Amino acid sequence: MKFYRLFAVSIVMIVGFGAKAQDSTSTGIWPKLGKNDTIRVAATNDGGYMIPWIGLKEVVILGNRIWKSPQEQAMYNRLRYNVLKVMPYALFAKRRYEKLERDLAVVADKKEQKRLVKECDNEIKKMFNTEIKELTITQGQILTKLIDREVGRTTYDIVKQTKGKFAAFSYQLVARVVGHNLKNTYNVQEDRDIESIIRSSGYYQ
pTM: predicted TM-score of the whole model, two decimal places:
0.59
Closest CA to 73 of 191, 193, 192: 193
Proportion of the chain in helix, strand, coil states, percent, rounded to 5: 65, 5, 30
Residue 162 has a pLDDT of: 67
Q: Is the dihedral of CA 154, 158, 161, 163 positive or negative?
A: negative
Q: Which positions ≥6 away from 151 have C-beta within 8 Å? A: 93, 94, 97, 158
Closest CA to 141 of 72, 90, 77: 90
Task: Using alpha carbons only, give the angle 138, 174, 80 rounded to the nearest 5 degrees.
Answer: 15
- Ranges of residues in the chain with a pLDDT under 70 are 1-39, 60, 62, 128-133, 162, 171, 174-180, 203-205
d(CA 128, CA 135): 10
Q: For 99-158, what is each residue's pLDDT tens digit? A: 888 888 888 888 888 888 888 878 877 776 666 667 888 888 888 888 888 888 777 777
